[in-house]
Copies of this chain bind each other. A is one copy, B any other.
Amino acid sequence: MNGGPIVTDVERAIRDVVIANRILAHEGVVDAYGHVSVRHPRDPTRYLLSRSLAPGLVEGGDVIEFDLEGKAVDGDPRPPYLERFIHGAIYEARPEVQAVVHAHAEAVLPFTISTTALRPVVHMASFIGARLPVWDIRDNFGDTNLLVVNMAQGRDLARGLGGERVVLMRGHGFTAAARSLPEAIRIGVYMPVNARVLAEALRLGEVKALSRGEIEAHASMRPDDPAMWRAWEYWAMRAGCGDLLTART
């Protein structure tokens, strides 16, 4: 929220990618691995993503522009994330998606290897949507190292996601598709919370989940809602990058 020099929409998008990386690291959603991207604000066939680097260390200069096939647009020679195809394939399949998070958050992992379905049970997690498909790379690609390392695998994952907000990846983690970076971060932060609450509630007995109407009512919050911004701002401050926040328009 500084009043410094004018910032272009691209510069702001890059700053927001940095903030998003730092928040995910600070809140424990990602560790040395995991990544977050935003669709390019001027060219929907490109997205902005860090070079291969732990999210907690990402700075503006690390953010690279990729085309949807995962090629660095300006030929940046620095090693990219092996799994950047997750991002391009989802932007390709879902024009309305503006931000993608991929993470291995521990609390979500048990649900990726279980037949017990993950579903939203607390209102902060309504954004994950009513249905969370589980995608298993083994179904179509046999024994791999589980990483999504080419467009064929990325597109298969995007098909697994379908029209939903989040897809679980067996033995690996999850990927979320959101309408904005603050929404993507919100999903990232509350996915593990919701998973822990559901797992614990299942041990207590029968669970009263959110109804479809409740999920839709809450998840329809606009991505620029003040309550959404409040969390984005707070998590950025906690992550030590409050100085990167730009004034809301």
Contact = CB atoms under 8 A, between A and B. Distances in A.
Interface of A: 31-33, 52-54, 56-57, 79, 82, 104, 106-107, 109-111, 113-116, 121-124, 126, 136, 138, 142-147, 170-172, 193, 196-197, 199-211, 213-214, 216-218, 220-221, 226-227, 230-231, 233-235, 237-238
Number of copies: 4
Given A53-B230, A106-B193, A146-B217, 17 more contacts: A57-B237, A79-B226, A106-B196, A109-B122, A110-B203, A110-B204, A113-B207, A113-B209, A115-B206, A123-B145, A123-B146, A138-B214, A144-B217, A145-B220, A171-B209, A199-B204, A202-B204
A197 B110 contact: yes
Given A113-B201, A143-B211, A218-B146, A226 B122 contact: no
Contacts of A123: 145-147, 171-172
The residue among A57, A79, A171, A205 with the most chain B CB atoms within 10 A of its own CB is A171
Given A199-B200, A218-B145, A171 B122 contact: yes
16 contacts: A31-B234, A52-B230, A54-B233, A82-B227, A106-B193, A110-B200, A110-B203, A113-B121, A114-B204, A114-B205, A121-B171, A123-B172, A138-B211, A143-B213, A143-B214, A143-B217
